[in-house]
Amino acid sequence: MFTIEHEFDSTVITLIDEGDGLPLMGDITITAFDDCVTLEQTDPEGEMTVALTLSMAQLADLAAALNLPEGSYRLNQHKD
């Protein structure tokens, strides 16, 4: 399950773990800004939050990597 909310300067997506496996993982909040994307996850007991920020180039690399076989790659990115 997931939710999508549009804020003034960002889009916030929350991924909620409803898997059959136990223990369930903590919800992941993804906040997309114009220049970066931030991922945050709080452990299921709510004691610690881990945050990760990706540049837009890193996000493009991640999206491409999900559909490629093992190897080393460099995307050609054109700047306007």
Residue 37 pLDDT: 97
Residue 77 pLDDT: 67
Confidence of residue 22 (pLDDT cuts 50, 70, 90): confident
Whether 37 and 52 have beta carbons less than 8 Å apart is answered as no
User: pLDDT by residue (tens digit) across 27-72?
Assistant: 999 999 999 999 999 887 778 999 999 999 999 999 999 888 999 9
* 3-class SS of residue 3: strand
- pTM for this model (two decimals): 0.80
Whether 54 and 37 have beta carbons less than 8 Å apart is answered as yes
Residue 54 pLDDT: 96
Residue 80 pLDDT: 55
Q: Is 9 exposed, middle or buried (0-12, 13-18, 19+ CB in 10 A)?
A: exposed
Per-residue pLDDT at 24 exceeds 90: no
Cα–Cα distance, 22 to 57 (Å, whole number)? 34
Whether 38 and 48 have beta carbons less than 8 Å apart is answered as no
